[in-house]
Structure 1
Amino acid sequence: MKPEEGSAPVTMLAQRCFEAAMLAEVYAVLVERCGKETALGVIEETVERAALEAGKRFAAKAPDGPSLTHFAAVTDMWRAGGALTIENVRREPDRLSFDVTRCRYAERYREMGLPEELVTRISCLRDGAFVAGYCDKLRLTRPGTIASGADRCPFTFIWEKR
């Protein structure tokens, strides 16, 4: 969503909340028509496709092509408006890691009354697909998430030299 001329930009958190509200409605209809398992599959595929395309669009903005240095700038977008609290940032030539210690995305989705099974799917599921869309040299490991009950989300991005 692009803001109108002269208006304030929409934060990623606000954008994701708009999307989450719509996905929750679609999910409710799909559960009624197809059952929970099929409905979750459709939501997962939709979120992954959107995130993959977003990763491609972000990569296209890299002045010298995708790189770990360019990718690291995404953390500023992710935490805009206080959406994420990020600590313990560590940068190495081929690795970026950090801990998310507060996730307003998950908090807002729960405040909105989203079914619990959608909270991680609408938010956390995006990350791996975004990375895949950005570049096939980039890998993500994240053994737990706040949305799924962990006390933090430990992200590690590794740039593989091929």
Structure 2
Amino acid sequence: MTGVLDDYLIDPEVSLLDKTRMQAQVLLPVLRALRAELGKERADAVVKQALRDWSKQLFAAIADGIEGSPRRKWAAIQKVFGEISGREVAFEIRHHDESALDIDVTRCRFAEFFRALGEPELGALLICAADFDIAAIGAGTVDLERAQTIMQGAPSCTFRYRFAPR
């Protein structure tokens, strides 16, 4: 199952943080040029829509390659994505049973990187929003709520997964 995210990672030897840094090297000049041409609000809206569409399509395509129920597809992607992103965050599991999984991320190197660039919104689009696209793979069997993120300036990211009865 380690190859589940190969289409996303492209080169599994490159860390997710390094991949994100490479994406930012390309996206930031494009974003800044669009802001100069269209204005910040319009440019940010165009980039947000493009990145959201890309992420949703990417994770849906990854899920299509996994056998089983929506919950199993979510679990497979979540496991691998958690292992990969977990190298860059510190977290605590607050609660875990058949109906819920509560995780608090207490340090995030992705947030540190994007906040240092002065572009936490871009970081939220590239990293934070993917969590919801992965949860959507669960198609009604997995729900994610997150009240706050470090990327947005909070002291922690609150992941609150709820699972439908099996």
Please classify the TM superposition score into its range, dividing by the shorter chain length. 0.7 to 0.9
Task: Give the AA of the match of 1:38.
Answer: R
Please say if residues 59 and 135 of structure 1, whose CA atoms lie closer than 8 Å, have aligned partners that are also in contact: no
- Counterpart of 1:2 in structure 2 is 10
Q: 2:123 aligns with which of 114, 119, 122?
A: 119
Q: Which residue of 2 aligns with 1:104?
A: 109
Greater percentage in helix = 2
Aligned length: 154
List, as ranges, runs of 4+ consecutive aligned residues in structure 1 with deviation greater than 6 Å.
Answer: none
Contact 1:128 1:140 in 2 (8 A): yes
Q: Given the alignment of the two structures, is residue 135 of structure 1 paired with residue 141 of structure 2, yes or no?
A: no
Distance 1:96 1:57, change over 3 A: farther
Amino acid of the residue matched to residue 93 of structure 2? Answer: N
Aligned counterpart, 1:14 = 18
Matched, 1:76 2:83: yes
8 Å contact from structure 2 (residues 88, 110) kept in 1: yes
1:88 aligns with 2:93: yes
Native 8 Å contact 2:111 2:120 kept in 1? no
For 1:89 and 1:54, locate their aligned partners in 2 and report how far apart those are by CA, in whole Å: 30
Greater relative contact order (CA < 8 Å, ≥ 6 in sequence)? 1
Match of residue 53 from structure 1 = 57
Q: Distance in 1 between matches of 2:61 and 2:94?
A: 25
Listed as ranges, the gaps of 5+ residues in structure 2 are 1-8
Give the superposition deviation at 1:161: 4.9
Give deviations 1:94-146, integer Å, cap 9, x for gaps.
322211111111112234x24344333333233223322x2321221000000
- Where structure 1 has 5 or more consecutive residues not aligned to the other structure, the ranges are none
Q: Percent identity?
A: 25
Shift of 1:90: 2.7
Is the CA contact 2:77–2:134 (under 8 Å) kept in the aligned structure 1?
Answer: no
Q: Distance in 1 between matches of 2:26 and 2:96?
A: 37
**RMSD between aligned residues:** 2.4
Q: How much has 1:89 moved relative to structure 2?
A: 4.8
Could you state the TM-score of these two structures normalised by the residue count of structure 2?
Answer: 0.78
